[in-house]
Every structure is written in C-alpha cells, then in structure tokens.
Amino acid sequence: MFVLLVVMALCAPLYAKHVAHTTPDRNNITGKVTVGGEQRDVVSLDGIPIGPTWQGEYLLGADQNGRDVAVRLLYGARNSMFIALTATAITTILGIILGLLAGYYRGVVDWIISRSMDVLWAIPVLLLGVALGVSLALGGVKLGPLELSGDSLWIPTLIIGVVGVVYLARPLRGEVLRLREQEFVEAARAQGASGPRIMFGEIFPNIIATVLVFFPLLVANAVLLEAALSFLGAGVRDPDPSWGTMIGEGEKVIITQPALTIAPGLMLVLTVLSLNVVGEAVREAIDPRARVRLEQ
C-alpha cells in the first residue's frame, strides 16, 4: 500500500504531462474545460473552482487558481514523502548516535543528552515546529556551509527530523543501557576494544531490530507533522504543493468545494494508515511480545 503511494508520487510528472496536460503550479483561472461535451469555467466568476470531472483533465477538480488538484496531489505526495523520509533518516541517524552515546557512556554524557531531550519533549511539537518554521523561513538559514533560502524544503525537513529524535533516542538509550551490561560487551572489553568500537560493533547490531520497528511509525509521524506545519503555513510554502498546504487552501472553500480538502485528507489518512500497518507487521515479525508506541 505504502509502496503503491510512493510509486504514484514518483509517476507524478508522467501523469501531469500525458493525462492532465498541465503542471502542478500552472494557473488557469480564466480557462475553460470540456466536460461531457459542454464547456465550463475552471473557476467560476464568483471564484468557486470546478469539482471533480472524473476525466483526464481536472480529474479531481481545480483549486482557486485553476490548478489541477490531482496533479498537485501527486506532486504534493512527492514533497510530503521526501520531507517525511529524509526527516526520518535524520531522526534515525541522530537518534541512534545519541541513544548509543547516552546509554553507553552514562554519567555526564547521558545527563546532558537526556536533559536536552526532556527540554525538547517539554515543548509541544507543533508549537516548536511553527515557531522554528516561521522564524527560519523568514530569514533563511546560514549555518556555515549550509545555506538555505526561506522557501527551501529542507527547513521543514530539518525541523521534523530534529523534533522526532526524542522518540527514538529514548527507547534506544534504555536498550543500550541493558545491552551494555551483557557479558559479550565485557568480552569485547577484555579483548581491548575501544568505546566506539563496542558501541557500533557489538551493541548497534542488537538495536537494529528496534530501529526497524520504529522507522515506519516515525515516517507516519513525520508525514502528519509535515501536513500540520504546512497547514499552518510554517512548512512547505505556496506554490510548492504539499498535502498540508492543499488542505489549508481548500479549507477556505470547504463549503462550496469540499473535494479540495477531502482529496489530500484522504491521501494523508491512507499514507499514515498504511505506514502504521507496515510498522505493526515489522514489529510482529521481529518480536511479537515487544510493545512499541509513539506518543505525541
């Protein structure tokens, strides 16, 4: 299911070119489209966009700017998936490193990492995301060699990636705390292995299962967070499509043209649902007894 969604997102340009004959951000406010033999305005004179036509052009209707919703939906899927997957990759890498460091070295290192996590956890994720998103988007980011303009996709990606670290690093830290006391770790130390070598050579292979279980859940989480941020205007910015921005735009005409909100909403539900199913399956396959939950 999730794979199908990804394939759909990847095929977006094909669909746009050969079926819908448009691009995700081509405005067409004054244009007309033939539906069932009769000519109709894409956007009516009083500003109400056309509903689903169930044909090649404007399959799911248009938005206020006369852009094809189906095309934007697919392109939005690309953005949403890109952000979610990249953010989760960032989360995973950071989470593994921090979890290993905190769990293995304990003491001061653990204290610093764990307390930072507490702080991050104490702030509502959305609030933090919006605050960061708005402030970063206004000024752009200049971090050494890293330079991002305000409308770059990397800004929401980074925010979502960093915010999610807490959910992975904590359980991993616990796992590492348990593993480090195992005798095979002591055996490695008796052979003269260094700290990093034990962490990555001995302990890391044992936490991969946990990471695998968390991964789809984290992606689902990231998709939702991205949608929420974009909806609030702190994530992906117009004219770039994303499900969140599309819901945000559709919300203005939700009474007259609900399809505009329902379509991306359904996509969101499907994606998150499928990811959760994947996560559940992975969990069952690896350890039927373990209970993993993401709390937010």
Binding interface with other proteins (CB under 8 A): 182-184, 186-194, 201-202, 205-206, 208
Integer Cα distance of 257 and 108 in angstroms: 57
What token pair was written down for 190? 């008796």
Least distance in Å: CB of 289 to other proteins?
16
Choose between 43 and 198: whose C-beta lies nearer to other proteins: 198
Choose between 44 and 182: whose C-beta lies nearer to other proteins: 182
Integer Cα distance of 79 and 45 in angstroms: 31
Least distance in Å: CB of 217 to other proteins?
22
Least distance in Å: CB of 95 to other proteins?
19
Q: How many Cβ atoms sit within 10 Å of the Cβ of residue 138? A: 8
Choose between 47 and 201: whose C-beta lies nearer to other proteins: 201
Q: Which of 236, 196, 254 is nearest to 63 (CA)?
A: 254
Choose between 46 and 183: whose C-beta lies nearer to other proteins: 183
Judge whether 70 and 60 are in contact, CB under 8 Å.
Answer: yes
Q: Which of 91, 80, 159, 82 is nearest to 126 (CA)?
A: 159
Helix (H, G, I), strand (E, B) or coil at 143: strand
Least distance in Å: CB of 118 to other proteins?
17
Least distance in Å: CB of 108 to other proteins?
13
Choose between 67 and 283: whose C-beta lies nearer to other proteins: 283
